[in-house]
Amino acid sequence: MVAPDFIAPLVAKPVVGDVLVADFTSFAVENGDILVLGIRSQGTAPGEVSQIPAGWFRGGLEGTLPVGDRVLGVFYHVVTDKTAETFSYTFTGVSGGTSSRVISIVGVVRGGDLAFVNDGGLKYRSDAFIPGHNAGAVPFLEIAIWGAEFTAGVSVLPNAVPAGLTTQLIAQTAGGATPAIVDNSVTAGGTRTGLVVTSRKVEAGGVVAVPDMTMGWPGAPTSIKSASMIIRGKTAAQTAGIPIKKGDGSSAFLTVGNDRRTPTRVALWLPGFVDVETFINKLGGTASHRGGSLTKPEYSERAYDASVFKHFGALEFSCAFSGDATPVLFGNGDQYLDRMAGVTGNIDPTTLPWVTINSTYRNVLRPEGPGITQPLYRLEQFLEKYTPNHVVLVDPKFGWNSPARVNAMLDLCRAIGGPEKIIIKFDSPTISDALVDAAQAGPNPFKTMNYWGTEIEKLTPEYGTDKWDLIGIRYDADQTMYDTAQGIGKPIWAAVIPDQAGYNLAASRGADLMMCADINNIAAVI
């Protein structure tokens, strides 16, 4: 088999401000192709892009991303169903908002082994030197990029391209209100951001070792950074089927009977936040509100599955209580069953046994087709399925002030998932500390979060700001509300965010974490 390679010449584009739109619509992309994006910023910004679209990842396996340095890196996305792709993807936080001199380069690689797309390379280097490293196997394609800043009299054209590399594209951009890709001749003035993209193809029978690589220029560019990633090629003629790695390192394939089949569509079940602390410390991290309360049949297993496929790493579950002596907890955020079940009469679940509730009512919210409804979803089922790979937020709604119900909920959460994976949540300022005290009791307390909306007068210890670990406010609250919340000194979460513009607004005003209602049109951050 031959090594993977680019299917067409790469395309360079400038970036305006802090938002990069990677456009692949000009390429003839097929299922199994790998979209590749190279980024270089001039403004000082975190080394990691703050918001990467779902299904996109940074290439390279080694190296530490910097804090407060230029963004540079190779990013990739595997196309599994081209009919479901827009081929236009939005990245934010590419320059820290400090410079419009950002350059991006897009291309498409074909022929990669989809089980080993990111097979090695360096995520980030703060100089022109990429030390030697190994690919996992041959054949392979390595993409190596170098970015720098070029002043008057200093050319972006290198004079010392490392041996074995093929130059795919050299480009530079000038700044200003309307940045543009400019000629690669020696710059006439100002500062320009340049990017050199190269590749190395190693065919079957070659070696996996990649030598040291240092890019050189005839002048003296500043702030040189570099990165690389390796895409492994197919090592032998492969029969139908997409390999899925098992725990012992071998691969499994989809089969029907004894015949391997190639699926027409694959949905990747990606892991979420590994634990509560990771979620809390992820600036801009997203949680799916009730599984997608604006577009999905909220509270249902179908909605939470969709959230996972969209790469939301935290899932919120609003729960109601049955009227049993040992209450059954299930998904519902209202006092009554009416809205969720499509009935009238103020049906109070706390007055009914679970056997009656479960046999009489179904979830009719946002059906996925005519007459399609969802069964009621128990908290126990939800925790068993999602806490192994995701952080979840459990929000007891009406009836929480009954000690028996609260203890039933907390006992269940401790038994399945525990404080490492679960945050106990509430949605109203209250002078009662019963719920937060119960959640934080014992040697292994839960982290807790509560929601003040826009009630700025209640952001006080009387209403629990000294008790709850995370402070929630309405996503579009005014700046004074955000400033007051920040003064408490605890992480702020914003809710309930309806779209990407709402996410951006909350982020600009100081929110740390985001509760999202539309999982289709808000890019997950994990």
- Say what the pLDDT of residue 66 is: 77
The answer on 180 and 42 residing in a single domain is yes
Q: Tell me the C-alpha distance between 515 and 472, whole Å.
A: 9
Residue with tokens 């419009």: 100
338-366 mean pLDDT: 95
For the cut 90, the answer to whether the pLDDT of residue 42 exceeds it is: no
For the cut 80, the answer to whether the pLDDT of residue 132 exceeds it is: yes
Count of domains for the chain: 3
Query: DSSP string covering 361-419, please?
Result: --B-SS-SSTT--B---BHHHHHHHHTTTSEEEEEE-TTTT-HHHHHHHHHHHHHTT-T
The answer on 264 and 200 residing in a single domain is no
Lowest mean pLDDT among 1-5, 77-81, 236-240, 422-426: 236-240
For the cut 90, the answer to whether the pLDDT of residue 376 exceeds it is: yes
The answer on 504 and 485 residing in a single domain is yes
The answer on 256 and 178 residing in a single domain is no
For the cut 80, the answer to whether the pLDDT of residue 13 exceeds it is: yes
**Most confident region among 16-20, 324-328, 451-455 by mean pLDDT:** 451-455
The answer on 302 and 198 residing in a single domain is no
328-346 mean pLDDT: 96
- Say what the pLDDT of residue 261 is: 61
The answer on 252 and 293 residing in a single domain is no
- Say what the pLDDT of residue 476 is: 98
Instruction: Give the range of the structural domain holding residue 245, as residue numbers without chain letter.
Output: 240-268
First to last CA, the chain: 36
Lowest mean pLDDT among 16-20, 107-111, 173-177: 173-177
- Say what the pLDDT of residue 45 is: 60
- Of 268, 286, 312, the residue that ends a domain is 268
The answer on 426 and 504 residing in a single domain is yes
The answer on 174 and 26 residing in a single domain is yes
Closest CA to 151 of 70, 219, 72: 219
Classify residue 384: in a domain, yes or no: yes
224-241 mean pLDDT: 80
The answer on 299 and 171 residing in a single domain is no
Classify residue 464: in a domain, yes or no: yes
Higher local confidence (pLDDT), 122 or 177 = 122
Classify residue 526: in a domain, yes or no: no
The answer on 447 and 362 residing in a single domain is yes
- Say what the pLDDT of residue 292 is: 96
For the cut 80, the answer to whether the pLDDT of residue 313 exceeds it is: yes
112 near 120, Cβ under 8 Å?
no
The answer on 305 and 228 residing in a single domain is no
Closest CA to 75 of 93, 95, 55: 55
- Say what the pLDDT of residue 242 is: 60
For residue 96, name the pLDDT band (cuts at 50, 70, 90): low
Classify residue 419: in a domain, yes or no: yes
The answer on 258 and 227 residing in a single domain is no
For residue 358, name the pLDDT band (cuts at 50, 70, 90): very high
154-180 mean pLDDT: 90
For the cut 90, the answer to whether the pLDDT of residue 108 exceeds it is: yes
pTM: 0.54
Identify the CATH number of the domain in which residue 296 sits.
3.20.20.190
- Write out the two tokens for 97: 């908002």
Mapped onto helix, strand or coil, the DSSP state of residue 429 is: coil
Classify residue 522: in a domain, yes or no: no
Cis peptide before 496 (omega within 30 of 0): yes
Classify residue 524: in a domain, yes or no: no
Helices (H) and strands (E) in the chain, counts: 9, 30
pLDDT tens-digit readout, 189-201:
677 899 999 999 9
